[in-house]
Amino acid sequence: MQSPTPLRASLLAAGAAVAALLAGSLSAGVSHAAVDNSTCRPDGLYATPGVDVPYCSVYDESGREKMGADHKRRIIGYFTNWRTGKDGKPSYLASDIPWDKITHINYAFAHVDSGNKLSVGADGPNNASTGMTWPGVAGAEMDPSLPYKGHFNLLNKYKKQYPDVKTLVSVGGWAETGGYFDENGKRVASGGFYTMATNADGSVNQAGIDTFAESAVAFVKKYGFNGVDIDYEYPTSMKDAGHPADFPISNARRAGLNKGYAALMKTLREKLDRAGAADGKHYLLTVAAPSSGYLLRGMETFQVQKYLDYVNIMSYDLHGAWNEYVGPNASLFDDGKDAELAAANVYGSSQYGGIGYLNTDWAYHYFRGSMPAGRINIGLPYYTRGHKNVQGGTDGLWGKAAASSCPAGSGLTKCGDGAVGIDNLWHDKDDNGVESPAGSNPMWHAKNLEKGIVGDYVTQYGFPANTTLTGTYARKYSSTLVAPWLWNAEKKVFLSTEDEQSIGTKADYVVDRGIGGSMIWELAGDYQWNAAKGQYEMGETLSTLMYDKYKAASPYGAKKSNAALPSEAVDVDVDFTEFKLGDSNYPITPKLRITNNTKTALPGGTEFQFDYATAAPPNASDQSGFGTKVISSDHTGGNVGGLKGDFHRVSLKLPAWQSLAPGATVDLSFNYYLPVSTPSNWTVKIGEKTYAIEGDLARGTTLVEPGTGGNPSPSPSPSQSGGTGGTGGGGTCSATAWSASAQYGGGTTVSHAGHTWKSKWWTTNEEPGKTGEWGVWQDLGAC
């Protein structure tokens, strides 16, 4: 499978509320305590050491994002900076956004400039982000209180009216990951993310990363954003992935791109957290992540997920004119007939387990292996993909359409025969200024094609007013795939679409599985019917449908594990490392490295268990004598119609003759056959007691020394405290003794029965040690 090419062009993606103090009067000399932000930290989210991150400004005490009473799931819309109307084509401005229906806006795109700083270009009246104006356009009047104009002015103007909506600046995208567009619209291949994060020798460019991260913090503060969205396409070791113009820069750095990506996200997380602590509001950090099994195979275990508030899966562009295989742009499920997968013998190979990996459900489960469902959003395309001259298949589906030549600059010698002309309204141009064949259209145009309507807007795209359509665009639908398409039998044109039926089913999928929500590329593709003109135009039909589905939904899934895990964690580190690069990494054979950071030797026979995603079959193994075996599976067999559960549970043991001394490390050779994100929900059984591990960053766990049940250090673990430090554990009991008659506010520490305790909320006459694991008192360890 090949990675998508410039045929995708710019179509790929990629609140200053202060937390209220807990109620309750205090007496008996106990001082009032501020909000305990650690209680609001999402499960599995990295906590910057030494920083009291104001999670409670964005999250509630279950770790779920606060988005307004009628928004139980996210609806994230990408809003692009190029549909300004200044080119004579229809505009899509901030005033066109359905602000009451969505929860987040990702502004596309900013870029990495030649000085490694986040930028949208030089200020001026032609800068759409900061300088452009739209005189006479209703709703596009500038807010005179702001020192800048353009889209940023309008976004902040409307945020005043819709304060629950968060905005993020999205950096990169298909065309601006390794470069940027200058003021003349010419793309400069400067290196972008590739050189900012990774040096020529493959090492981490920490100086470049620091410069970028500092500029990102300054940028969100200056322009009123709630966070940063990174759309890096792509930090993978797979050769020729990303924009072909970047290959001379990116391919030379492939071996170090993953390490640079991880260092970038960690640095961004920490600098945003420190800025948030100073400003009293939590800044979001998110990414647009690939859904392609090919690209993810070269991204190790996607180790950056712990730094992210949530991930937006680009679960689209799964088929398109970069190759000859005709299929859906963004099917929800596999049907066991995908022609591209069949050609690669995926269905016939026992190693793959019959799992088709070009669908949204597979991509969701890949990330579910390392993240709570609620920190994942599935991507939805409001645009089409399509081929012409399709041969075979059923109404074009799973047929073939090979092109005799490829677009200039595509980097391909073999590609698909993409639809053109009236079937390619939102097209880009190749290096010679020729239309790139891709079958790319907004959904409002596709709806008009389906109804046999030539919209009056076609003249703005260079078509004459008397344009007529050839053939009939018949709507087809696969309920197995959850995918609609248009089939023009006369022209042999196949256009993959979305509409109310498919989006409604995908919204139900989000609700039923506890997923965080949906991400839309891009808002301008949505439609509505204009009865006066008798045509479909830009609108909000699909976004409104999702809003209606989500507003009555139950809260999203906030826990990584589907099972109860131990409340005590030990400092044992696990890491998957030494991945082979590019096409050499199949089967996937990293080293699993276990490091004992405790003060206690782990005896032979110590058992480790963990979960990995059902996106890979249950055939993981090792070659090192640790007896690795899958002990339970939530799904077996192929995945037609969807994976039935989330996890495979794995067990492995230190050999009976091998103990692991404090500070010691052991490696074992691990094998699996489809990519998975970082395995999680680890437990360590030492003797007769089972512990969690600190690195899982689970909510509600306490770091202890094996065998003692006590805190091994003066501070709670980051998973317990959010990295803010603490007073419990070790030494004398310095906290005030607990009193049955006293009233305690949330976050108050007391001593009782030789331990230090912290209250999670207001309480009185509840004895520490008697309220249970989920009660008001949290045990900070012996004192």
pLDDT tens digits, 166-201: 999 999 999 999 999 998 889 999 999 999 999 999
CA 391 to chain centroid: 36
Neighbours of 472 (CB within 10 A): 14
Neighbours of 689 (CB within 10 A): 14
And the tokens for 691? 């512990």
The Cα–Cα gap between 98 and 76 comes to: 11
User: Residue 8's closest CA among 322, 389, 241, 387?
Assistant: 322
Q: What is the pLDDT of residue 531?
A: 98
**Chunked in runs of 10, what are the mean pLDDT values of the chain (783 residues)?**
34 31 30 73 97 98 97 98 96 98 98 98 97 98 98 98 98 97 91 98 98 98 98 97 94 97 98 98 98 96 98 98 97 98 94 96 98 98 98 98 91 92 95 93 98 98 97 98 98 98 98 98 98 98 98 97 96 97 93 97 97 97 93 97 98 95 96 97 96 96 86 39 31 76 75 82 79 73 74
Sequence-ordered strand ranges (E) for 559-645: 568-570, 572-577, 591-596, 607-613, 621-622, 629-633
CA 423 to chain centroid: 31
And the tokens for 459? 């003249």
What strand order describes the sheet that includes 385-387? 385-387, 493-496, 483-488, 474-478
C-beta of residue 304 within 8 angstroms of C-beta of residue 257: no
Q: Is the dihedral of CA 464, 465, 469, 473 positive or negative?
A: positive
Q: What is the pLDDT of residue 412?
A: 83
Can you give the pTM of this predicted structure? Answer: 0.88
The Cα–Cα gap between 684 and 687 comes to: 10
Half-sphere exposure (Cβ direction) of 14: Cα atoms closer than 13 Å: 31
- Write down all domains in the chain, each with its CATH number in brackets: 1-21+71-314 (3.20.20.80), 568-710 (2.60.40.290), 727-783 (2.10.10.20)
**Cis link prior to 768 (omega < 30° from 0)?**
no
Neighbours of 428 (CB within 10 A): 18
Coil vs helix vs strand at 242: coil
Coil vs helix vs strand at 739: coil
Residue showing tokens 């991880």: 262
The Cα–Cα gap between 681 and 363 comes to: 19
C-beta of residue 408 within 8 angstroms of C-beta of residue 431: yes
How many angstroms separate the first and last alpha carbons of the chain? 59
The Cα–Cα gap between 717 and 701 comes to: 8
CA 45 to chain centroid: 13
The Cα–Cα gap between 626 and 605 comes to: 9
β-bridge pairing 227-231 and 284-290: parallel
What DSSP designation does 246 have? G
Burial state string for 58-73 with b = 16 or more CB within 10 A and e = fewer than 16: bbebebbbbbeeebbb
The Cα–Cα gap between 751 and 410 comes to: 67
pLDDT in tens, 528-572: 999 999 999 999 999 999 999 999 999 999 999 999 999 999 999
Query: Which residues are within 8 A (CB) of 181 and not within 5 positions of it... i.e. 6 or more apart?
Result: 111, 121, 175, 187, 188
β-bridge pairing 483-488 and 493-496: antiparallel
Q: What is the pLDDT of residue 781?
A: 74
Query: How big is the chain, counted in residues?
Result: 783
Residue showing tokens 């976050």: 747
The Cα–Cα gap between 464 and 469 comes to: 12
Neighbours of 89 (CB within 10 A): 16
∠ CA 413-419-423 to the nearest 5 degrees? 155
The Cα–Cα gap between 221 and 274 comes to: 13
pLDDT in tens, 583-614: 899 899 999 999 999 999 999 999 999 999 99
CA dihedral 417, 421, 422, 427 (to 10 degrees): 80
The Cα–Cα gap between 554 and 287 comes to: 25
Q: What is the pLDDT of residue 167?
A: 99
The Cα–Cα gap between 706 and 683 comes to: 12
For residue 384, the one-letter residue type is: T
Q: What is the pLDDT of residue 733?
A: 76
Q: Residue 677 to residues 237, 269, 372, 586, 680: CA-CA distances in angstroms? A: 15, 19, 12, 16, 9
Neighbours of 23 (CB within 10 A): 9
Q: What is the pLDDT of residue 5?
A: 33
CA dihedral 95, 97, 99, 100 (to 10 degrees): 110
Mapping DSSP onto H, E and C, the string for 132-180 reads CCCCCCCCCCCCCCCCCCHHHHHHHHHHHHCCCCEEEEEEECCCCCCCE
Q: What is the pLDDT of residue 761?
A: 67
Q: What is the pLDDT of residue 719?
A: 35
C-beta of residue 481 within 8 angstroms of C-beta of residue 335: yes
